[in-house]
A = this chain, B = another copy of it.
C-alpha cells in the first residue's frame, strides 16, 4: 500500500485516492470498467530488487508485497495463496508442436483455482476498510475462493451463484461456512441481485468487475511466471477469458515488472473463449465493439455473456500484440484429455480452454515451435467431475480372470 499512488480511470484519466468505497469512476460510471491502481515504481525499485526477492522465504503471493495494494501490517488469511507450480511437460509440448511449453497449474491453490489470488486481497481490503462481511456473485471459483479466504480470516461471506453452478463448487462454499444464495436465473441476474444486496447491506464488494484491487491479486500469477522463468519473459501467455479480469491482471503483472525494469520486454497474450460464449474473441477478431452473447458452453467459469471488464481485457490483448480465439466445447474436452494424459494435470473446462486455444494457434502457425509459451490452467478438474466424465470414454470391462483379460489386452500388445 505504501507504494500505491492512487486510482485512475482508464477512460477519462480522472484520478482518485485509494480510499474505502472508491471503486469506479464517477464520471464514466461503472459500465465503463473499473479503476486502475497506480504505483510509484521508482519507490518500489528503491526498496526492492530481484535479488532481495530471491531471499524472501514466503512462497505465496505476499512475497510480492511491494506490488500489492495492501498494508503490510493488516492481518492476512493463513492460506497459502499462489506459489503454484510452473511445469515444463515434454509430452504436451510434443503433442502441440511446441519446443518450449510451460504449464502454470493454478488449480493448485487453496480452493483449487486462480481466483484465490483475488479473493485473498478482497478479504484483506475488507479488513482494512473495516467491513465485517464480504460478498460477491460468481459462477463458482470466485465464490469458493472468497468463502475460503473469509473462513480463514474469520469473517462471514454472502455468495450469490447462478442456478447452473456445478455441485462441487456449491458444496465447497457450504463447507467453508458461506451464506450461499442460489439465484434462479443466469449470471446477469445473479450479478445484479448481488449488487443490490451489497449496496443495501453495506457488505464489502468482491465482484471483480467493480473492485479495482482484485486484478492486483490476479496479477501475481504473472509475477510468479516471470520469477519462475528467472525473469526471462515468455513469447506468449495463453489463458481462458470470461469476464476479462484475469487476462487484465496478467497484463498488469507483466507491465509492473517492466516498469520497475525487472524484465526487458512484454509477452504477447492469447485470450481464449468458447465458441458457445465468445463476445470478446468475436469483437477482437472482427475488430468491432463487443456485443452481449448467449452462454452456451460447458466451460461454466467463462460462460459470461456480458463481460464486466471488456475494455481492460481487449486493451491487454491489443497492447501486447497478442490475439484471441474461440474454441468449441469439443476442443475443450479434448484439451482436458490431452493435458491430463501428457502432463498429469487435471483442469476444469475453463481451466484447459487456454490449452485448447494454444493447440489451435499452434496449428495455425500463429504461435511457433520455437516460441516460449506459458499456458495457464486456471482451475482444478475436480471442481467439475460431470464434464470430465463427458470428456473421457468408458473403462475396459472384464470378468475377474486372467483368461478373460488376456484377449482384451492383446490388441495393446500384451500377450
Contacts and interface: CB of A to CB of B under 8 A. Distances in A.
B183 A343 contact: no
How many monomers of this chain does the complex have? 2
Interface string A380-397: 111101001101110111
A395 B176 contact: no
A110 interface: yes
B108 A174 contact: no
A400 B182 CA distance: 9
Contact of A152 (B89, B174, B179, B388): B89
Contacts of A85: 79-80, 110
A44 to B, nearest CB: 24
Contacts of A341: 151, 175-177
Interface in A189-238: 189-190, 192-193, 196-197, 200-201
Contact of A167 (B77, B173, B185, B385): B385
Contacts of A408: 181
B401 A182 contact: no
Contacts of A193: 398, 400-402, 405
A342 B148 CA distance: 9
A137 to B, nearest CB: 11
A343 B177 CA distance: 10
A108 B111 contact: no
Interface in A316-345: 336-337, 340-345
Interface string A345-359: 110000000000000
A261 interface: no
Contact of A382 (B149, B172, B185, B344): B172
A375 to B, nearest CB: 14
A97 interface: no
B197 A402 contact: yes
Interface string A147-165: 1111111100000010100
A400 B192 contact: yes
A205 to B, nearest CB: 15
A405 B197 contact: yes
A91 interface: yes
A152 B408 CA distance: 26
22 contacts: A78-B89, A80-B108, A111-B344, A111-B346, A147-B344, A167-B385, A174-B389, A174-B392, A174-B393, A175-B340, A175-B392, A177-B342, A179-B396, A179-B412, A182-B396, A182-B397, A185-B400, A192-B400, A193-B398, A197-B402, A197-B409, A200-B414
Interface of A: 59, 77-80, 83, 85, 87-91, 105, 108, 110-112, 147-154, 161, 163, 167-168, 170-177, 179-185, 189-190, 192-193, 196-197, 200-201, 336-337, 340-346, 380-383, 385, 388-389, 391-393, 395-402, 405, 408-409, 412, 414
Given A175-B336, A201-B414, 20 more contacts: A78-B87, A91-B154, A105-B110, A112-B380, A147-B344, A151-B340, A168-B382, A171-B385, A171-B388, A171-B389, A174-B388, A174-B389, A175-B391, A180-B396, A181-B398, A182-B395, A192-B400, A200-B414, A382-B383, A385-B385
